[in-house]
Structure 1
Amino acid sequence: MRESPAYDPQNIFAKILRGELPCFKVYEDDRALAFLDIMPRCPGHTLVIPKAPARNILDIAPDDLAYVATIAQKIAKAGKDAFAADGVTVQQFNESAGGQVVFHLHIHVIPRHEGVAMKPAASVKEDMAVLAQHADRLKAALAR
């Protein structure tokens, strides 16, 4: 079995965690952060990441993975409510061959509507005012 490359602390999500780059935060605690994807495939597309440095599912500690999954579930429920969605797509990719682009473990949580296709990945950068509104909707749903 091939060894995965080491975690790179200069990845974009590590920089977001350190406050070096902005994000539309919807949830944060001492172990996880959830924020909007700036190129959402559907309204409310949120990324859930661990605060622990983990490249992907292949190197994350099992308890950190379980915790991030718990937060992803919380975000999925809030997203379904906030966007009156019919369902939720949850995706997680590992290594380049598996579709991973940013090498910090992240779970995509995407509210979905029946008959509405997702935009292609990383195709359209959303208007910042729209993202701010979506973040507010998700935070309100999380507070219920």
Structure 2
Amino acid sequence: MEYPALSPPPVAIREIPCFKLLETDKTLAFLDINPLSQGHALVIPKHHGEKLTDVPDDHLSEILPIAKKLVVATGAQEYNILQNNGRGAHQEVGHVHFHMIPKPNETEGLGISWPQQKTDMEKLKKLFEEIKSKV
């Protein structure tokens, strides 16, 4: 068992045991120690940032390719890639991390609800224009 090598390492993450699956200069992937299903893994940038917007783009470039490798390595046919930002969005650890969670059956893996809101097309168009002008 190893510990993640982060620069600079937040104390909370530095103290968590780590079963390292893959490591590069910018990224670390390891098994989740409280998994939702077999093969549940985390992929994290080594650059410390609490939220996604705190991490420079060049430190995020390997995240999805590594998550894809983990999907293939675990043989997951159905899975979730999850990333939360802030306590209200269910982020428990103050360091950006992406979950790769196999969903082998109805009871294992991530369970979610999707409370859709009724759409007002005029408001949606206004929101679209506002966001698009800032991208």
Aligned length: 104
* Whole-angstrom CA distance in 2 between matches of 1:48 and 1:117: 20
* Whole-angstrom CA distance in 2 between matches of 1:48 and 1:54: 14
* Aligned equivalent of 2:55, options 60, 75, 78: 60
* Whole-angstrom CA distance in 2 between matches of 1:45 and 1:11: 23
Matches within 5 A, 1:89-108: 89-108=80-99
Q: TM-score, normalised by structure 2?
A: 0.67
SS class of match (2:29): strand
* Whole-angstrom CA distance in 2 between matches of 1:57 and 1:69: 14
Q: Is the 8 A contact 1:47 1:109 kept in 2?
A: yes
Q: TM-score, normalised by structure 1?
A: 0.63
CA-CA distance at 1:45 after TM superposition: 0.4
User: Percent of aligned positions with the same letter in both sequences?
Assistant: 38
Q: Which structure's CA Rg is the greater one?
A: 2
Unaligned runs of 5+ in 1: 1-7, 121-144
Matches within 5 A, 1:1-144: 9-13=9-13, 15=14, 21-79=16-74, 81=75, 85-118=76-109
CA-CA distance at 1:61 after TM superposition: 0.7
Q: Is the 8 A contact 1:41 1:119 kept in 2?
A: yes
Q: Is the 8 A contact 2:102 2:109 kept in 1?
A: no
2:37 aligned partner, one-letter code: C
SS class of match (1:47): strand
* Whole-angstrom CA distance in 1 between matches of 2:17 and 2:50: 21
CA-CA distance at 1:107 after TM superposition: 0.3
Q: CA 1:39–1:21 in structure 2 vs 1: closer, same or farther (change >3 Å)? A: closer
Deviations 1:107-134 (A, max 9, x none): 00011214343378xxxxxxxxxxxxxx
Q: Is the 8 A contact 1:45 1:111 kept in 2?
A: yes
Structure 1 vs Structure 2 CA RMSD: 2.2
